[in-house]
Amino acid sequence: MPQLTLVPSPPAASQTSPWMWPFGSQFGLININLGKSSDPDLEKEILQDVGTYGKQLGQLGDALRALIDHAKLDEFTPAEKRAINAALYQLDEIDRLKAKRK
């Protein structure tokens, strides 16, 4: 899982500005570095053409919930049940937060 580092961003350098911020050309109140990608161009294309990380995770969560709904949970080990319950808790919390936005 990527480590999230929150840092204030510098003002954007403009052509009229006589100075350049030493940390690059990012601009925003908070930037999140998701780590290095082995293929950043492919990752950018996926995000643009397939869906954002949130959209992708949402669809995976929906599929996971469907599989869990049809699984025989009584045959799972205690550790497997804890993992399933943790995933369901996160999915339920996401649904709760989405409902608040409607």
pLDDT single digits (tens) 30-77:
655 567 888 888 988 999 999 999 999 999 999 999 999 999 999 999
Say yes or no to pLDDT of 97 above 50. Answer: yes
Sign of CA dihedral 4, 46, 51, 30: positive
- Local structure of 31: helix, strand or coil: strand
pTM exceeds 0.85, yes or no: no
Nearby residues of 58 by Cβ (< 8 Å), 6 or more positions away: 94
pLDDT for residue 26 is more than 80: no
